[in-house]
Structure 1
Amino acid sequence: MAPSSYQPPTRGDKGGSATRSQTAESNLSHTQTTVAKLLEGKGDAVFSVRPNDTIHSVVDILRDKHIGAVVVTDQNGTLQGILSERDIVRRMADTPGQTLPQAVEDLMTREVQSCAPEDRLMDVLKTMTEGRFRHMPVLSDGHLRGVITIGDVVHFRLKELEYEALRMKQMIVG
C-alpha cells in the first residue's frame, strides 16, 4: 500500500523535467574545502616566539592567549619549529622544577609538518590524525600565513554539516 502522501503522476505532470536534490558536487563539497576557506573565518593571527626565549615566557603566552601551541620563528619570521603544551608537559615530567628557565630551542619540534592554503581540509585532518599532533602551520611561498588546529578543522566541518542539514530541511519543507 502506498503512503497517503503519494500522488501518482498525472497527464499534466512534466515527465521530461527531473529535479535532482543531490549532486556529486553537493555530496562531495566538504571534501573540496580548503585551508584558505577555514582561515577566512578564523583569521591569520599567529603567536610566535624566538628560539632563545624561555619556556616560562611561552607558558605565559599560552595561558594569556588561550592557545595550545606557538610557532618558533627567527628574526625574519621564518618558521624554525613549533612548541606545544604537550611538549612542555613531557619536559616537566623529565626535569621537574627545572623546565621553565630552559630555552624554547631545547624543547621545540624542529621538523614541523605544515600545509598550504590550497590544501584540502580532509587531507590536513588525516595528516594531523595519523601524525598525532593538533597544530599545523600554514605556509605559502615560504611565509607563515596562519596556524590551524584539529579543533578548528572539526569545528569548521560541524558548521558545514549544520548548514547542509538546514538546506535539506528547507528542501523538504519547501
Structure 2
Amino acid sequence: MVSKSKKPHFGHESMHTHSQSVEAAVVEQSKATAESILSSKGHDVISVRPTDTIHKVTEVMKEHGIGSVLVKDQNGHMVGILTERDIVRGFADEPDDTFDETAADLMTKEVITATPDTPLLDLLRSMSEGRFRHIPVLDGEHIAGLISIGDVVKFRLRELEYEALKLKQMIVG
C-alpha cells in the first residue's frame, strides 16, 4: 500500500518542474506585508482633530478623495478612526445634528491596527472578519500609514499580473 503523504523520490533532488516554480512563486507572494503595500502606495496619512466638526471632516475627505481619516490628538497620537460608514450611521441616528457633531462623537475608538511586518493575508483576514475597509499601520507609536481594502486589491492585482508575465516567460522559454 502506498502512503499518500509521501512524495515520490526520483533521485534528482535539484530538478524543478514548472509547477514547482509556480508553487515557489506563490510562497514568495505570501511574504508580502503591510510595508510592501505602503512602499508602493506611500506613507501619507490624512488626519483630523477630535474637536473638528463632521462638516469639516467631510470637506477634508472630499478634498482628498478618501473614505476615512485618522483622528489625532494635539500630540499627534491616534485616538480613533472616522470613516464614511461612521458618518452615515451618525446621519441615520441624528439626521439634523450630524454636521455639527465632532469627530470624537462619531469616530471608532477601538481601532484595530497592523504593523509594517503584518502579512498581506492577515490584513485581508482582519478587514474581512472585522467588516472594515481601512487599517492604520503603526510602527511602535509612529503612524506608518493607512491601508484600505482597495490598496490591498491593487497591490494583489499587480502581483498577479507580474506572476502571469513570469508564467508566460517560463512557457515561452
Q: TM-score range by the shorter chain?
A: 0.7 to 0.9
For residue 77 of structure 2, what is the amino acid of its counterpart?
T
Whole-angstrom distance in 2 between the partners of 1:149 and 1:116: 14
Q: Quick one: percent identity of the two aligned structures? A: 51
Whole-angstrom distance in 1 between the partners of 2:54 and 2:140: 29
1:18 alignment counterpart: 15
2:60 alignment counterpart: 61
- Gap regions ≥5 residues in structure 2: 1-10
For residue 161 of structure 1, what is the amino acid of its counterpart?
L
Whole-angstrom distance in 2 between the partners of 1:114 and 1:88: 20
Q: Is the 8 A contact 1:50 1:73 kept in 2?
A: yes
Whole-angstrom distance in 2 between the partners of 1:84 and 1:27: 33
Please, what is the CA RMSD of the aligned residues?
Answer: 1.5
1:99 alignment counterpart: 98
2:71 alignment counterpart: 72
1:117 alignment counterpart: 116
1:86 equivalent to 2:85? Answer yes
Query: How big is the shift at 1:18?
Result: 3.1
Query: How big is the shift at 1:158?
Result: 1.1
Which structure is higher in helix share? 2
Q: Is the 8 A contact 1:55 1:101 kept in 2?
A: yes
For residue 75 of structure 1, what is the amino acid of its counterpart?
Q
Give CA-to-partner distance per residue, 1:132-168, whole Å, 9 cap, x none: 0000000001111100001111111111011101100
Whole-angstrom distance in 2 between the partners of 1:20 and 1:33: 24
Give the TM-score taking structure 1 as reference length.
Answer: 0.87
Secondary structure of the 2:63 match is helix
Query: How big is the shift at 1:32?
Result: 1.3
1:5 alignment counterpart: none
1:141 equivalent to 2:127? Answer no
Give the TM-score taking structure 2 as reference length.
Answer: 0.88
1:172 equivalent to 2:171? Answer yes
**Larger Cα Rg: Structure 1 or Structure 2?**
1
Secondary structure of the 1:147 match is strand
